[in-house]
Chains A and B, each alone.
Chain A
Amino acid sequence: MHKTSYNHNPMKTILLFVASILVAMNTVAQKTGSVEIQFDNVVGNQDLVLKDKTYTNANGDEFAVSLFQYYVSNFRLTRKDGSEYVVPQDESYFLIREQRPETQRIVLKNIPKGTYVGVSFVIGVDSLRSASDVSRRQGCLDVGGEGKDMYWAWNSGYIFVKMEGRSPQVPMTGNRKDLVFMYHIGLFGGMGDKKTLNNIKAANLSFGADKVRVKTDDITRIGIKTDASKLLNGSTNVSIAANPSVMGGPYSKHIADNYATMFSYDGLKKELPAGKGAGVVGMNE
């Protein structure tokens, strides 16, 4: 037996060390700060309260939400001149869960100092990463870890947005034993000649009149509101009675078209009080 670890190649270690110094120097030279985004999940103009609060969708159906979570990824910050800062992809995947406040606060690090006028991001996981090597599926993309409940194994791909809850409109037909509705929306388009539906959407938010300044070694905080009711309302007003359970399938396109508009810029924010979670960096690790 003459097996040693992957990480004990001294040449590699030195190279990595040199590389990290270079990166660090570059960073210092560029003068960077951080942007923290605080996601606030709402339903229309009301706060999202899991289980105990009843809402009404545009179709007039009453519903309560028991679970709401979604991926956001591939963040870009736009400058006034139209140029963009693209967050390095490996640090740009987040899974926001209503049940876990610490995930509702994400930090984008090493953002070049300057004034930004907008942010854009992918709702879900881009097709390249959806089809990537398992070793590149870390953190919230780890299907045997953080991402375990956001992955379809039989039609391999991530669930981008997942909302579940109860509604008296759910028909008690078939094997259904309770009034539960489920919207699991994914499908990244497949690979090569093996195409599936593509439900990847992008959000493009302007900061409006706000001047979002990123200062050296400082944290700039902004808010984004996520309106869960937008899954059900929009170009297609979803009837919970007619579509109580959408997990992939052709109808998922309508819900994805709806939720493409669920994000809105919510102004500059202050530091959150202690206890509201530490915030997450990179891939929600």
Chain B
Amino acid sequence: MSNLFYFPLGEETIISMKSILSFVVAAVLAVTIFSCSKTEVDSIDPNGTGGLTLEFDNYVGGTNMALGTAQYKNTAGESFTVTTFNYFVSNIELTKEDGTVVKVPNSYYLVREADPKSLNVSLTGIPQANYAKVAFTVGVDSLKSQAPVTERTGGLDTGSYGTDNMYWSWNSGYIFMKLEGISPASTLSSKAFQYHIGGYGGGFQGAAKTANNLRKITLPLGTTSAKVRTTTTPTVHLIVDAARALGGTNTISFAATPTVHSPALAKPIVDNYVNMFVVDHVHND
């Protein structure tokens, strides 16, 4: 008599009919409104805000990054695979075409190749304007590095992304950039390489000073400004080339330096990775 499983389609159909109707009404209204204003005026609401997305697209040289078995080569000629690639992006600043700088408050983001959601950093509440430059810090500034745990939310919440640790509990600081993988050239028995880059300068509560590896990256957007409007949320598509962390200014060899775990030893890689961010293009849609 009674069906073990049922079709709720009857009700759904009615609901969807309603939603279709309201959609049609909305569509008709929209068409009417748009057809009234013949030319779409690109207007900036001086008091209005909008959104902007930074898209971090990780590569190794000219080849897309795929964690696991994809094979790459560093400038030392050593082949390798990447298992982890993470970095903090913080203190984001946007510079308008007229030179005015807009600081995005409390902007701390952890970009993890393993987590596709983290590759798109969506900023909201951005004043409407044409932006010509974007700048950010790679890492977490000293103030935030010393902030109470209650202020450490999102990417700063060290417990929020599983075991992929980005925090040195022994040195009370964040790992700014982490690049790990496997290379036959590595002198470790595991054939692994691990580069954990951090160091905000230390000196917390009278503690010793450490190397300061915080770096600010400033990137002009090129010919296309990012036009933040009520209806336009631009995307700044950044190419992040992990190979540049390993080469360029200093050639890093897995054979010579399979691991870096301390701020003091990190400088050669830091001097490299300041060049790993490139703006590819801007979408205004």
A residues lining the B interface (CB < 8 Å): 51-52, 54, 62, 64, 66, 166-168, 179
Distance in Å: Cβ of B198 to nearest Cβ of chain A: 39
Task: Assess whether A64 is in contact with B3, with CB atoms less than 8 Å apart.
Answer: yes
What are 14 sample pairs from A and B whose C-beta atoms fall under 8 A apart? A51-B7, A51-B9, A52-B3, A52-B7, A54-B4, A64-B5, A64-B7, A66-B9, A166-B5, A166-B7, A167-B5, A168-B4, A168-B5, A179-B5
Distance in Å: Cβ of B159 to nearest Cβ of chain A: 28
Name the residue of chain B whose CB is nearest to the CB of A66.
B7
- Separation of A274 and B159 alpha carbons in the complex (Å): 70
* Residues of B contacting A66 in the complex (Cβ-Cβ under 8 angstroms): 7, 9
1/0 per residue, CB under 8 A from A, across B1-39: the answer is: 001110101000000000000000000000000000000
* Residues of B contacting A54 in the complex (Cβ-Cβ under 8 angstroms): 3-4
- Separation of A166 and B8 alpha carbons in the complex (Å): 11
Distance in Å: Cβ of B96 to nearest Cβ of chain A: 44
* Residues of B contacting A52 in the complex (Cβ-Cβ under 8 angstroms): 3, 7
- Separation of A27 and B3 alpha carbons in the complex (Å): 54
Name the residue of chain B whose CB is nearest to the CB of A50.
B7
1/0 per residue, CB under 8 A from A, across B93-134: the answer is: 000000000000000000000000000000000000000000
- Separation of A166 and B6 alpha carbons in the complex (Å): 8
B residues lining the A interface (CB < 8 Å): 3-5, 7, 9
- Separation of A115 and B220 alpha carbons in the complex (Å): 84
Name the residue of chain A whose CB is nearest to the CB of B2.
A54
Given contacts A62-B4, A64-B5, A168-B5, 15 further A-B contacts (CB under 8 A): A51-B7, A51-B9, A52-B3, A52-B7, A54-B3, A54-B4, A64-B3, A64-B7, A66-B7, A66-B9, A166-B5, A166-B7, A167-B5, A168-B4, A179-B5
- Separation of A51 and B5 alpha carbons in the complex (Å): 10
- Separation of A263 and B4 alpha carbons in the complex (Å): 29
* Residues of A contacting B3 in the complex (Cβ-Cβ under 8 angstroms): 52, 54, 64
> What are the 7 tightest A-B residue pairs by CB atom distance, in nearest-first order?
A51-B7, A166-B5, A168-B4, A179-B5, A168-B5, A54-B3, A66-B7
- Separation of A51 and B4 alpha carbons in the complex (Å): 12
Distance in Å: Cβ of A138 to nearest Cβ of chain B: 28
Distance in Å: Cβ of A245 to nearest Cβ of chain B: 16
- Separation of A146 and B3 alpha carbons in the complex (Å): 32
- Separation of A204 and B267 alpha carbons in the complex (Å): 80
Name the residue of chain B whose CB is nearest to the CB of A53.
B3
* Residues of A contacting B7 in the complex (Cβ-Cβ under 8 angstroms): 51-52, 64, 66, 166
Distance in Å: Cβ of A125 to nearest Cβ of chain B: 28
Name the residue of chain B whose CB is nearest to the CB of A166.
B5
- Separation of A168 and B4 alpha carbons in the complex (Å): 7
- Separation of A64 and B9 alpha carbons in the complex (Å): 13
* Residues of A contacting B5 in the complex (Cβ-Cβ under 8 angstroms): 64, 166-168, 179
* Residues of A contacting B9 in the complex (Cβ-Cβ under 8 angstroms): 51, 66
- Separation of A68 and B3 alpha carbons in the complex (Å): 19
Name the residue of chain B whose CB is nearest to the CB of A170.
B5
Distance in Å: Cβ of B14 to nearest Cβ of chain A: 15
